[in-house]
Amino acid sequence: MSRYDHTRPAPAFTISAVTVPDTIDAPDAADFIGLAAVRSAVIAELRGDTSPLPAPEIAAAELLPNWKDESIGSRGFVAHVDGRVVGRGTLVLPAGASECWAAVAVLPGYRGDGIGAAIYARLEQLAVDAGRRTIQNQTDYAAGIGGDSLPAPTGFGSMPLDLASTRFLLRFGFTLEQIGRLSSLALPMEADVMASCLREALAASAGYRTVTWQGRTPDAWVDALALMRTRMSTDTPNAGIEQSEDVWTAERVRSVDDHWEASPRTIITTIVVDAETGEPAGYTELDVPAEPDRPVEQMDTLVLAGHRGRRLGMLLKLTNLRELGDRFPASRSVETMNAEDNRHMLDVNEAVGFRPLAYSARWKKTIG
């Protein structure tokens, strides 16, 4: 991250709340598009990603479905300088939770002038007003950064101390709780790796079958997906991060399906089912951008507790990756994020061929 230039005069800036537009073409969508553009640029910078950024309108269209999910409770602010959006702040206020998630980003060239601090003050006050007791944050950084570091209390991974994001969060009273790893898989997968891993997974998972779909959830699996998404919120390693149960219902699954149908991205879902009982045992999702040179995002992967130890996680991932290759053969890579202390899932990813690309730090602050 670039150092600040204190020789220039600090620019005048304003901060305003973001309106969530009905569509990206709506007259009130400009600030939301600016928010999405700042988010894309700063995440790429922090991760050391030099690939082309999505167009601001595309980035905004991809964000919009989550902002329309009222259960997530997204709120946002943007900072303007001379009419340009140069900073963004977002707060996620999950329904029924005591915690919330904040994010602050300011474009290079506008840092060190109090914009980030002013945005964060708005976010924390909004969290306090909403009755939240904990505010949490996730920051990214590129692999290979040296120097002094702050170790995670889990004993897995550390955060470079000299990063501006580290100094910012420590300044505002956050504590480091967990390190995550962003890994990348080049596509297409090596055929012999796919074949051998899938063969082993199928041998270990006798008595189970997979079901895959693209886009909207089939009626037969709406309730099963609601159950598994609820379990996803509490059954993965979170270290000291607070994570209230995020309850999914059939109605919420359908509402999110509706929102995603307007998105330029496509979701591929694979579930694994007990062949005898028909009960769901796990699921995984891939989020595919329209442009094949941008990475596919590996989203949730979960095997329910009573079905673990049968290599179902490997079966799920490989089945979905095979479907991705069949449906979107031009896709070039897949990226996934896992906690450094989630050794089981890292073992699965490494066996498939994922390699470390960047890292993320998860932070927490008590505010009430």
Mean of the per-residue pLDDT values of the chain: 94
| Complete DSSP assignment for 118-149 | HHHHHHHHHHHHTT-SEEEEEEEEETT--S-E
Quick check: 312 pLDDT over 90? Answer: yes
pLDDT band for position 133 (50/70/90)?
very high
pLDDT for residue 262: 87
The stretch 229-245 carries a mean pLDDT of 91
Q: Where are the domains of the chain?
A: 14-132, 188-331
At 98-128, the pLDDT tens digits run 999 999 999 999 999 999 999 999 999 999 9
**pLDDT score, position 138:** 97
Q: What are the pLDDT digits (tens) for 12-57?
A: 999 999 999 999 999 999 999 999 999 999 999 999 988 889 999 9
Please give the Cα distance from 56 to 327 (Å, whole number): 26
Per-residue CA distances from 332 to 28, 288, 291, 328 (Å): 35, 11, 10, 10
Rounded average pLDDT over 45-74: 93
Q: What is the pLDDT of residue 10?
A: 74
The H-assigned helical ranges of the chain are 30-47, 56-68, 115-129, 164-171, 191-204, 222-232, 250-261, 312-327, 343-352
pLDDT at site 6: 55
Sequence-distant contacts of 251-254: CB under 8 A, at least 24 apart? 252/69, 252/71, 252/226, 253/217, 253/222, 253/225, 253/226, 253/229, 254/217, 254/222
**pLDDT band for position 8 (50/70/90)?**
low
Stretch 353-361: mean pLDDT? 95
pLDDT of 2 reads 38
Residue 5: what pLDDT? Answer: 54
Write the pLDDT tens digit of every residue in 206-222. 999 999 999 999 999 99
- From the CB of residue 45, how many other CB atoms can be counted at a distance below 10 Å? 17
Average the pLDDT over 296-323 and give the result.
Answer: 95
Range 188-331 has CATH code 1.10.3720.10? no
Average pLDDT of span 260-269: 94
For the segment 279-302, the average pLDDT, to the nearest whole number, is 96
What is the reported pLDDT for 28?
97
Looking at residue 3, what is its pLDDT? 42
pLDDT given for residue 9 in this prediction:
72
Domains 14-132 and 188-331 equal at CATH topology level: yes
Look up the pTM and report it.
0.92
Model pLDDT, residue 51:
84
Mean per-residue pLDDT for 190-197?
A: 94
pLDDT of 309 higher than 50: yes
**CA 160 – CA 365 distance, rounded (Å):** 19
Report the CATH number of the 14-132 domain.
3.40.630.30
